[in-house]
Amino acid sequence: MAEVLVLVDHLEGEIKKATYELLTAARALGEPSAVVVGSPGTAGKLADGLKAHGAEKIYVAESDSTDFLSPQVAVLASLVDQVAPAAVLIVVSADGKEIAGRLAVRTNSALLGDVVAVSAEGATHSVFGGAYVAQAKANTEHPVITMRSGSVEIEASAGAGAEQVVDIPAATGRSATVTGREPITGGDRPELAEASVVVSGGRGVGSAEDFAVVETLADSLGAAVGASRAAVDSGYYPHQFQVGQTGKTVSPQLYIALGISGAIQHRAGMQTSKTIIAVNKDAEAPIIEIADFGVVGDLFTVTPQLKDEITKRKS
Amino acid sequence: MNIIVLVKQVPDTYSERKLSNSDHTLDRDVTDAVLDEINERAVEAALQLKEAHGGQVTVLTMGPARATDAIRKALSMGADEAVHLSDEALHGSCAVQTAKALAAVIKAAIGFGEFDLVIAGNEASDGRSAAVPAMVADVLGVPALTHAREITVDGSTVTVKRETDDGVTRLTAELPAVISVGEKINEPRYLSFKGIMAARKKPVATLSLADAGIDPSEVGLANALTAVTAAQPKPAKSAGEKIADEGDGGAKIAAFLVSQKLI
């Protein structure tokens, strides 16, 4: 069976759980091989987790290189050359998309970006924020596929996890140099794109201070906080939390929209959520039309009550 | 300092977007087409660098004939000239083909070595692959400094504060290089009447594939490295239960969540 290369997503010795989703998805295409590119000692910390999620091989490329993303691209390109994998899977992130694009153009491979499912027949995309579902296939060998986190249910499976050290090939072009890094530690809330519950606020929240009501409900549910473009443009909440056509696309199990009218700009970023709850003063707000449960009312009375009910049930 | 700005015309993000029934490509006729917002920031970044260091700003786009509207907007902001790669055969090109075609135009038509910076938006609002700037850089063999929140040019060195969801990375490279800008790089200037009038006289070179020295077998839907085999609009989500809050709205939501086993 052909190998499927999975680029391991990690930060400071910690694995990103989306890597396990890719290892799970990879089994539908072939034999999963994890590829660890990082500073010396990285693979040692990650190997047990990778084995427990089905990695038959672990390619280890460790160095202190300060070249920006070029080592990842170079290592994957040389592995594509050596093992002719059935596919290369990479997590959707800013870095992941960039590595994937550069790898595809360098190895002349099909680039299937931001997919939600893979099979031997091809990949499934969710387009325009879920307004369309499209099936796509690669017309080349070894397609490079980026997968959206949260699309696959992680399944543990024991793999041999045979480690194999690979050299980082010399760069083919000039590279940017990393002179400093300040990772976001993110606080206690889950990451927006990965959260299974998202609570978002819109223009109806009315001020930055009052976003506390959104945050309080989110924390009672262990949820991520999101915001509509209108709320972000009004300065109520930082841009990195924007959900919508020009922000994040989320697809959680539960999405709670507070004071959000639901313009297409916003719906495109959340309409594939499994269950949608909306609270809005306006009975005609488009968000109510796509909500599984819509309450026409004041979010400042409904939300605290909901929060209290949730806390009660937990205790 | 010679700067090339990559721009793209996209469907307005405030309108409903559609895929065409015949070949599953973006149906550009049913939506309003606009210069992608992030491209205005890319043009603004280029203009600010030109104002500080002198030089020339050239806008480059690949797209159908009506993409000239997007070009005009960039020229109205203050870019000096434009190159428009426009050819029927480009329709349906995939990301890899697009990156190679743009790099070919930069190399052949504009002249490799004659630019210091290529500046682009970090992610188009329609395709959202967020990879084309780095792919163009890879083809050109120059560094890619992406998702820039701040750009500083000092002599032949460029430094960028790169900001993504994962945090801040500080990058440095020698020119020439490719930069992509993020949402927070700047606020694009407003168009002035003078700028709009001046743009009418600015040169726009329209290139066919032959002009750019691109082999037609390397672009287009039929030769794309990926193929969309089917596309279905997702059935519209129907409204569920709708109630008016009578003092127990929060409790009713909680009951609903319990019934759905969500809490």
Amino acid at B157: T
Mean pLDDT of B47-56: 96
Mean pLDDT of B235-249: 86
Mean pLDDT of A90-116: 94
Mean pLDDT of A200-215: 96
Q: What percent of chain A has pLDDT over 90?
A: 76
What is the rounded (10 degree) CA torsion for A22, A25, A27, A31?
-30
The 10s digit of each residue's pLDDT in A122-143 is 899 877 767 788 899 999 999 9
A198 and A255 Cβ atoms separated by less than 8 Å? yes
Ranges A85-89, A168-172, A309-313: which has the least confidence: A168-172
Closest to A45 (Cα-Cα) out of A66, A28, A60: A60
Mean pLDDT (chain A) is: 92
Residue A17: band (very low, low, confident or very high) from pLDDT cuts 50, 70, 90 = confident
Mean pLDDT of A65-91: 96
Mean pLDDT of B144-172: 94
Burial letters B103-117, b for 16+ CB under 10 A, else e = bbbbbebbeeeebbb
Question: Any chain A CB within 8 A of the CB of B210?
Answer: no
Q: Which of B37, B232, B236 sits opposite A133 (nearest CB)?
A: B232
Question: Measured between alpha carbons, how far is A59 from A74 in angstroms, rounded to an integer?
Answer: 13
Question: Measured between alpha carbons, how far is B120 from A160 in angstroms, rounded to an integer?
Answer: 44
Q: Is the pLDDT of residue B112 over 60?
A: no
The 10s digit of each residue's pLDDT in A35-46 is 999 999 999 999
Helical spans, DSSP H, in chain B? 37-53, 68-77, 95-104, 132-140, 193-199, 209-212, 249-259
Mean pLDDT of A152-177: 92
Q: Is the pLDDT of residue B44 over 60?
A: yes
- The dihedral through the CA atoms of A100, B135, A142, A126 has a sign that is positive
The 10s digit of each residue's pLDDT in B53-90 is 999 999 999 998 888 889 999 999 999 999 999 999 99
Q: Which residue has the higher pLDDT, B231 or A159?
A: A159
Can you give the pLDDT at residue B96? 94
In chain B, the residue whose alpha carbon lies closest to the alpha carbon of A184 is B167
**Coil, strand or helix at B160:** strand
Q: Is the pLDDT of residue B123 over 90?
A: no
Question: Measured between alpha carbons, how far is B15 from B6 in angstroms, rounded to an integer?
Answer: 23
Ranges B13-27, B87-101, B153-167: which has the least confidence: B13-27
CB contacts under 8 A, B 216-255 vs A, are 224-234, 236-237, 239-245, 247-254
- Helices A94-107 and B95-104 meet at what angle, rounded to 10? 70
Q: Which of B15, B164, B253 sits opposite A295 (nearest CB)?
A: B253
- Within 10 Å of residue B56's Cβ, how many Cβ atoms? 16
* ipTM attached to this prediction: 0.88
Q: What is the nearest CA distance from B9 to chain A, expressed in angstroms?
A: 15
Can you give the pLDDT at residue B231? 84
Question: Measured between alpha carbons, how far is B145 from B134 in angstroms, rounded to an integer?
Answer: 8
Can you give the pLDDT at residue B113? 61
B-chain residues within 8 Å CB-CB of A122? 229
Q: Do A174 and B142 touch (CB under 8 A)?
A: yes
Q: Which residue has the higher pLDDT, B26 or A107?
A: A107
Q: Do A128 and B140 touch (CB under 8 A)?
A: no
Amino acid at B248: D
Q: Do A172 and B141 touch (CB under 8 A)?
A: yes
* DSSP for residue B173: E
Can you give the pLDDT at residue A264? 87
The 10s digit of each residue's pLDDT in A80-89 is 999 999 999 9
A198 and A254 Cβ atoms separated by less than 8 Å? yes
Q: Is the pLDDT of residue B39 over 80?
A: yes
Sequence-separated (6 or more) residues with CB below 8 Å from residue B115: B2, B3, B4, B58, B106, B176
Residue B177: enclosing H or E segment and its boundaries?
A: strand B177-181
Closest to B140 (Cα-Cα) out of B181, B175, B177, B172: B177
Can you give the pLDDT at residue B261? 87
The CA–CA distances, whole Å, from B77 to A40, B40, B47, B179, B226 equal 48, 8, 9, 19, 36
Question: Any chain B CB within 8 A of the CB of A1?
Answer: no
Mean pLDDT of A6-30: 93
Question: Any chain B CB within 8 A of the CB of A128?
Answer: yes
Question: Measured between alpha carbons, how far is B4 from B42 in angstroms, rounded to an integer?
Answer: 10
In chain B, the residue whose alpha carbon lies closest to the alpha carbon of A102 is B135
Residue B15: band (very low, low, confident or very high) from pLDDT cuts 50, 70, 90 = low
Residue where the block lists tokens 């592995």: A79
Q: Do A181 and B167 touch (CB under 8 A)?
A: yes
Residue B10: enclosing H or E segment and its boundaries?
A: strand B9-11
A139 and B225 Cβ atoms separated by less than 8 Å? yes
- Helices A18-26 and A42-52 meet at what angle, rounded to 10? 50
Can you give the pLDDT at residue B14? 64
Size of interface A-B (CB pairs under 8 A): 279
Q: Is the pLDDT of residue B198 over 80?
A: yes
Closest to A140 (Cα-Cα) out of A122, A126, A117: A122
Q: Do B224 and A221 touch (CB under 8 A)?
A: no
Can you give the pLDDT at residue B31? 67
Q: What is the nearest CA distance from A109 to chain B, expressed in angstroms?
A: 7
Residue where the block lists tokens 């001020």: A207
Q: What is the nearest CA distance from A166 to chain B, expressed in angstroms?
A: 22
- Chain centroid to CA A175: 26
Mean pLDDT of A268-284: 93
Bond prior to B176 in cis (omega within 30° of 0): yes
**Coil, strand or helix at B102:** helix
User: How do B226-233 and A132-138 pair as beta strands?
Assistant: antiparallel
Q: Which of B128, B141, B242 sits opposite A173 (nearest CB)?
A: B141
DSSP per-residue string spanning chain A: --EEEEEPPEETTEE-THHHHHHHHHTTTSEEEEEEEESTTHHHHHHHHHHHBT-SEEEEEE----BSSHHHHHHHHHHHHHH--SEEEEE-SHHHHHHHHHHHHHHT--EEEEEEEEETTEEEEEETTTTEEEEEEESSSS-EEEE-TTSS----B----EEEE---PPPSS---EEEEEEE----SSPPTTT-SEEEEE-GGG-SSGGGHHHHHHHHHHTPEEEE-HHHHHTTSS-GGGBBSTTSB----SEEEEES----HHHHTTTTT-SEEEEEES-TT-HHHHH-SEEEES-HHHHHHHHHHHHHHHH-
Q: Is the pLDDT of residue A273 over 60?
A: yes
Mean pLDDT of A163-186: 88
Mean pLDDT of A184-211: 88
Question: Measured between alpha carbons, how far is A175 from B173 in angstroms, rounded to an integer?
Answer: 7
Mutate to test the interface with B, among A295, A299, A300, A313 (most CBs of B within 10 A): A295
Q: Do A94 and B147 touch (CB under 8 A)?
A: yes
Can you give the pLDDT at residue B17? 67
Closest to B119 (Cα-Cα) out of B141, B93, B151: B151
Q: What is the nearest CA distance from A160 to chain B, expressed in angstroms?
A: 31
CB contacts under 8 A, B 55-114 vs A, are 94-96, 99-100
Q: Which of A105, A179, A302 sits opposite B250 (nearest CB)?
A: A302
B-chain residues within 8 Å CB-CB of A100? 131
Question: Measured between alpha carbons, how far is B20 from B28 in angstroms, rounded to an integer?
Answer: 8
Q: Is the pLDDT of residue B111 over 70?
A: no
